[in-house]
Amino acid sequence: MNKGKDIVKTKRERKGKKMRFIHAADIHLGAQPEKGLPWAAKRGEEIWETFRRLVAYAEQEKVDFLFIAGDLFHRQPLLKELKEVNYHFSTLTKTKVVLIAGNHDYIKQDSYYRTFQWCDQVTFLKSNGMEHCYFMDENVDIYGGSYYAKEDKNNLYDNLHPADFKRINILLAHGGDVTHRPYSPQRLRETGFDYIAIGHLHKPEILLQDRINQAGCLEPINKNEIGERGFFRGEITKTKSKVSFIPFAARIYQEEIIHVENTDTIASIQKKIVNRIEEHGSENIYRIILTGTRDEVIEFTEEKILKLGNIAKFEDQSQPDYDFKTMYRMNQDNVLGKYIKRYIEKEQLTAVEQKALCYGIRALTFGE
C-alpha cells in the first residue's frame, strides 16, 4: 500500500526534512454524554463541532499528517456519518489523514467501514493485525491495525519493530488495558519507532517525552474525565522531535472543592458554589465537593445544588459541627450516648468513621 508519489528528493535532503503532525484519538462521534441532564442535547453536537474544528485546524496549520488512533466513532458508524466525515477530510489541501478503528467503532461483519470509499486524503489501516503504509514524499512509514471485536487481548505492539530505520517510523496504537491490546510502556520505548500515537484511554498522558503519547479523548465523554482534553501536535525528523499538548475541548469537566464553615448558611454556601462556577467558566461541567464543618441544622438536597449550574455530580463531604463530648454527657444513659461512646473513646477517627458517627447521630436524633 503506497500513498506517496515517486521519490523526488535525495536521501540527504529527506533526512533533514521536518514532518509536522496532529495526533488525536477517541473523538467518539455519535456519543451523547450525560443523558437526562439539561446540557446533554448540546454535548452530542459539540463533539461533532469539535471534530470539524480539528479538521479546520489541520488545514489552517498545513500539517503533513492527521493521525486518529482509534474510536473516531462512539459506536458503529452510519453510512451518512462516514460520508459527513469524509467530506470534511476531503477539504484538506495538504494534510493526509491516517486512522484505525478502535474498540468502540470496531469493524463488524456488516460494518460500513469494510466497503466505504475514502477520499484521496485518507488512509484507513483496517487490517485485523498490523500493516504499514509508506509515504515517499515525507519518507514516513506508518504502522497500525484496526479492531474487529469489542475486545482484543493480543499484545501487538511490544515486539513490533520498523522494517526500515532510515524512514520516519510512526505507530498508531489503540489499547493499554488487559482486554484491549495491552502493552508495556518500557517495551514500547525499545521498539525503535520515532513516534507512537496511542488511543483508547481517555486521559492525555506523556509516556516518553516527544516520542510516546496517549492523546486522551478530544472531548470529555463522562463526568469522571476531569481536566483539559485535546490532542498532541508535533514536529519530527530522524534525529529529533518536539511534541506538545493542545487543549481543544469546547468545555471541560472540572472538580471544585468548596470549603464551608459553621457560620455559613444555605444561601451563603450556594453563593460560594455559584461564584466558583462563574470564576472558572459557566460553560464547563462541574463536580462539586463540599468539605469542612457546617452548622448541624443545615441540610443539602442534591436537586437544589444541581440547579446552580452545569453540575453533573454533587458530594457533601462536610461534617455537622457537633459537640460530641457534650452530647455524650447529656445522653450517656440512652442509646444515643452509647452510640457516641463507641467512637469518642478512639484516639482518632478515620474519615469513614467520622461520617458514620454523624449519620448515626442524625438518625437517632431525628429518626432518619
What is the rounded CA–CA span in Å between residue 279 and residue 321? Answer: 29
List the grid coordinates of 137.
514524499
What is the rounded CA–CA span in Å between residue 100 and residue 152? Answer: 14
Q: Give the pLDDT of the chain (368 residues) as one tens digit per residue.
A: 444 333 233 343 455 679 999 999 999 999 988 888 888 889 999 999 999 999 999 999 999 999 999 999 999 999 999 999 999 999 999 999 999 999 999 999 999 999 999 999 999 999 999 999 999 999 999 999 999 999 999 999 999 999 999 999 999 999 999 999 999 999 999 999 999 999 999 999 999 999 999 999 999 998 899 999 999 999 999 899 999 999 999 999 999 999 999 899 989 999 999 999 999 999 999 999 999 988 877 877 788 898 999 999 999 888 887 777 888 888 888 888 888 888 888 877 787 777 787 778 777 776 65
- CB of 71 closer than 8 Å to CB of 25: yes
User: Distance between terminal CA atoms of the chain?
Assistant: 69
Q: Where are the domains of the chain?
A: 11-247, 253-366
Q: How many residues does the chain have?
A: 368
Q: Characterize the bridge pairing of strands 241-247 and 230-236.
A: antiparallel
- CB of 46 closer than 8 Å to CB of 26: no
- CB of 320 closer than 8 Å to CB of 327: no
Q: Which fold has domain 11-247?
A: Purple Acid Phosphatase; chain A, domain 2 (3.60.21)
22-56 confidence digits (pLDDT tens):
999 999 999 988 888 888 889 999 999 999 999 99
What's the distance, CA 28 to chain centroid?
A: 11
DSSP string, 92-156: -SS-EEEEE--SSS---TT-GGGT----TTEEE---SS-EEEEETTTTEEEEE---SSS-B----
The Cα angle at residue 166 between residues 163 and 170, in degrees rounded to 5: 60
CA-wise closest residue to 196 among 136, 241, 258: 241
Q: What is the largest CA-CA distance in the chain?
A: 95
Q: Where are the beta strands (DSSP E) in 32-92?
A: 65-69
The Cα angle at residue 175 between residues 170 and 115, in degrees rounded to 5: 75
pTM, to two decimals: 0.84
DSSP-derived letter for residue 239 is S
